[in-house]
Amino acid sequence: MGQRLRALTGGAIGPFVSVLVAFIGLLVIIFFIGRVLPIDPVLSIVGDQADASTYEQVAREMGLDKPILQQFIIYVSDALQGNFGRARLTGNLVWSDIRAVFPATIELATCAIVIGALVGIPFGVIAAVNRGKTLDHVLRIVMLMGHSAPIFWLGLMGLLVFYAALHWVGGSGQLSLYNMDIVPRVTGFITIDALLSGDTDVFWDAINHLVLPAGILGYSSTAFIGRMTRSFMLDQLTQEYITAARVKGLSRRQVIWGHAFRNIRVQLLTVLALAYGGLLEGTVLVESVFSWPGLGQYFTNALLIGDMNAVMAATLLMGSIFLGLNLLSDILYRVLDPRTR
């Protein structure tokens, strides 16, 4: 047990160092992008009509009169403490705003990845088993469409068909107007808070609004997950142990799910982690189309008015989550697959 723990710990050092270096690089890139963009952070605060003395005073308060290296050190120190200044958009502390909107993004992305996994994995397995047949071609076309079609176009078409024409789902936002602010926010996840308060009407209204944007995002992730699953399964189905299992008289189901699929589960963990990180980062367009009050819409609105404090904080958070998911998938890979140790 001690040797295994040491092996896992030693094996995790490399990925952790890589993620740490990538995080430092992310901080550097975000900081310098914030400085080179043609958006004056001082002017966005004081306005066009401010006099020179006011402009200089605010610049000093923001530390913009200091050398660039010192500005970077201050920025990193503040970022590690969660201090990103105030948002011009709301007047609140940026980190306070992000904590308020981020649960909506997590809720949307989590439902999407569940849909993507439940649909994409079986699609990939079935396509691999029927390689070259009509069913394989049909599933590959379906997955290719999900990967190729612009997600904002899918969102607009979804609203047009399923909301405006068929009235099967709710429209934009998390809730209908008559259900707004009825349920107290405890966790920030509207479906969970509705259940905690015992209000089933609000819960089903939230589900009604969640199903379409989550389905659109889920379809996009289905394409990626399905294609990777198909590729992994094709590789396994050509291995000698599969031939041996068939010779032993095992059923088709046992060979496919009990042997071939079992050997790709660890690889799929990495795929699912990457897909989930991509969903958290890629909700910007979907949240804008559906007026979903999450981090993506907050980021878009901040960018439109040049609120660099909010833009840089949201970018850093999304990048950090992606790096964290990569590290987690590496660690799980080593835990679940002894060969990597």
The pLDDT score that the predictor gives to residue 29 is: 85
CA 302/CA 296 separation, integer angstroms: 10
CA 235/CA 281 separation, integer angstroms: 30
| Per-residue pLDDT tens digits of the chain, which is 341 residues long | 555 555 555 555 767 787 788 888 888 888 887 776 666 667 666 666 677 777 777 777 777 777 888 888 888 888 888 888 878 778 788 889 999 899 999 999 999 999 999 999 999 999 999 998 999 999 988 888 887 888 888 889 999 999 989 889 988 888 888 888 888 888 889 899 999 988 899 999 999 999 999 999 999 889 889 999 999 999 998 888 888 888 888 888 888 888 888 888 888 888 898 889 888 877 788 888 898 998 888 888 888 887 888 888 888 888 888 888 888 877 777 777 666 55
CA 34/CA 78 separation, integer angstroms: 15
Cβ(233)–Cβ(255) below 8 Å: no
Cβ(326)–Cβ(274) below 8 Å: yes
DSSP string across 196-240: HHT-HHHHHHHHHHHHHHHHHHHHHHHHHHHHHHHHHHHHHHTSH
What is the architecture, at CATH level 2, of domain 2-38+82-340? Answer: Orthogonal Bundle (1.10)
CA 58/CA 51 separation, integer angstroms: 11
Output the six-digit token pair for 173: 């936002």
The pLDDT score that the predictor gives to residue 188 is: 86
Which residues, 6+ apart, have CB-to-CB distance to 32 below 8 Å? none
Output the six-digit token pair for 128: 């691999």
Output the six-digit token pair for 339: 């060969």
* SS3 of residue 92 by DSSP: coil
Which residues, 6+ apart, have CB-to-CB distance to 130 below 8 Å? 136
- Can you list the positions of beta strands (E) in 22-79? none
CA 169/CA 294 separation, integer angstroms: 19
CA 164/CA 157 separation, integer angstroms: 10
pTM (whole model) above 0.85: no
- Can you list the positions of beta strands (E) in 250-309? none
The pLDDT score that the predictor gives to residue 28 is: 86
The pLDDT score that the predictor gives to residue 326 is: 81
* SS3 of residue 294 by DSSP: coil
Buried b (16+ CB within 10 A) or exposed e, 59-68: beebeeeeee
Q: Domain segments of the chain: what residues?
A: 2-38+82-340
Distance of CA 246 to the CA centre of its chain: 40
Residue with tokens 């609105």: 301
Structure letter (DSSP) for residue 89: T
